[in-house]
């Protein structure tokens, strides 16, 4: 009898403890101050970005943090050229930002623009995660008080123009809108003129003939209507196969997160970048086939002309190294060496499969 009473009392105590702990946890969760972050992103046509980062990512963060972190991701809240500084100054807590727009002051972020470094769409996500991440994070933290929390990219980067460019001499006199300083330099080396036009004005510049073409990603070229005025997809290596983008967070905002949330948020943001990279790459082939059906023509130079163009654009690499030294990131040389060594092994592995 005494044994039964003891077991009954023990079960009551256990239930009471469970209820008390559960109530305390619930009060803690309910009473925790909700953190609200705003991330900036730009309009990018039918890339996966706007839907994924604007809708999917906020839901995932809310679920993963049990509603403690609320994320807002408006489009074009800040002008593109001010996004990096806006995150630095805490105007927004973070952003999904393309690196070419800051190539003048933060050139280490634009290694992808060096002609010949990136050849295929899958190479940037792989090498950025394996090599560039640590260099970029240290540099952003030191220079801007910003932390890198994800890698993104826009695939299918190519030169689109209102005329076919089959041989190098046909670059002469062509005016092209590039994505940054190194694109413009590459154009100059092959005889074209690099014209700096803000992304928000790029379509009108192509439509009105201010420029003869532009360098951008295939999906943006397709979905934003550039192809109506620049029907030739000229496959020259004036830029790598991908354009780099990143998910960045103001360091003070990051440090202010509760310690238990930091690994959760870091995991969600990193995985979001990886998933969006795959999504963007998956869109390229279908866009290309659709464009061909609408009369766009792919122009492939001969191997001889292609290699000759790489030789003519070789000074872009040296200028990038010089600019990185001036910007206070001499480690960029080491980073590039590691990137190219990694890519050699990565390509060999793919070839062997």
Q: What is the pLDDT of residue 353?
A: 85
CB 58 within 8 A of CB 34: no
For 138, 242, 322, 346, the CA distances from 141, given in Å and listed in that order, are 5, 24, 21, 29
End-to-end CA distance of the chain: 72
As a whole number of angstroms, the distance between CA 167 and CA 262 comes to: 53
3-state secondary structure of 217: coil
Q: How far is CA 118 from its chain centroid?
A: 15
As a whole number of angstroms, the distance between CA 252 and CA 272 comes to: 22
Which residues are CB-contacts of 281 (< 8 A; sequence separation ≥ 6)?
121, 122, 125, 153, 155
For 32, 260, 262, 332, the CA distances from 27, given in Å and listed in that order, are 8, 17, 21, 49
Q: What is the pLDDT of residue 32?
A: 64
Domains of the chain and any CATH numbers: 34-154+242-283 (3.40.190.170), 158-241+288-314 (3.40.190.170)
Give residue-wise pLDDT tens across range 55-89: 999 999 999 999 999 999 999 999 988 999 999 99
For 22, 127, 338, 348, the CA distances from 341, given in Å and listed in that order, are 53, 10, 5, 11
Q: What is the pLDDT of residue 19?
A: 37
3-state secondary structure of 149: strand
Q: What is the pLDDT of residue 200?
A: 86
Give residue-wise pLDDT tens across range 93-149: 999 999 998 999 999 999 999 999 999 999 999 999 999 999 999 999 999 999 999
Which residues of the chain register pLDDT less than 50? 1-31
pTM, full prediction = 0.87
């Amino acid at each position: 009898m005494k044994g039964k009473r003891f077991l009954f009392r023990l079960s009551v105590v256990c239930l009471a403890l469970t209820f008390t702990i559960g109530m305390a946890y619930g009060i803690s969760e309910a009473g925790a101050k909700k953190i609200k972050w705003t991330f900036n992103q730009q309009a990018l046509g039918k890339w996966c970005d706007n839907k994924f980062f604007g809708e999917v990512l906020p839901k995932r963060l809310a679920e993963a943090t049990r509603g403690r972190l609320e994320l807002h991701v408006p489009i074009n809240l800040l002008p593109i050229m001010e996004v990096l500084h806006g995150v630095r100054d805490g105007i927004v807590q973070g952003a999904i930002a393309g690196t070419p727009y800051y190539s003048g002051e933060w050139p280490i972020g634009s290694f992808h623009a060096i002609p010949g470094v990136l050849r295929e769409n899958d190479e940037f996500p792989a090498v950025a995660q394996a090599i560039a991440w640590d260099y970029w994070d240290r540099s952003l933290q030191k220079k801007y008080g910003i932390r890198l929390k994800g890698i993104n990219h826009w695939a299918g980067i190519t030169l689109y123009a209102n005329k076919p460019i089959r041989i190098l001499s046909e670059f002469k006199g062509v005016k092209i809108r590039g994505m940054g300083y190194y694109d413009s330099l590459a154009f100059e080396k092959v005889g074209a003129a690099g014209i700096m036009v803000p992304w928000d004005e790029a379509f009108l510049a192509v439509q009105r003939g201010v420029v003869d073409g532009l360098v951008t990603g295939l999906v943006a070229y397709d979905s934003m209507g550039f192809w109506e005025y620049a029907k030739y997809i000229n496959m020259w290596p004036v830029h790598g196969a991908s354009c780099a983008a990143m998910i960045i967070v103001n360091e003070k905002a990051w440090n202010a997160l509760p310690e238990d949330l930091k690994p959760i948020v870091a995991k969600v943001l990193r995985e979001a970048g990886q998933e969006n990279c795959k999504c963007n790459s998956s869109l390229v082939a279908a866009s290309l086939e659709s464009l061909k059906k609408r009369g766009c023509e792919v122009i492939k130079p001969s191997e001889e002309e292609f290699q000759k163009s790489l030789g003519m654009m070789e000074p872009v690499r040296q200028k990038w190294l010089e600019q990185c030294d001036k910007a206070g990131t001499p480690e960029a040389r080491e980073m590039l060496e590691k990137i190219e060594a990694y890519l050699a092994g990565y390509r060999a592995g793919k070839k062997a499969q």
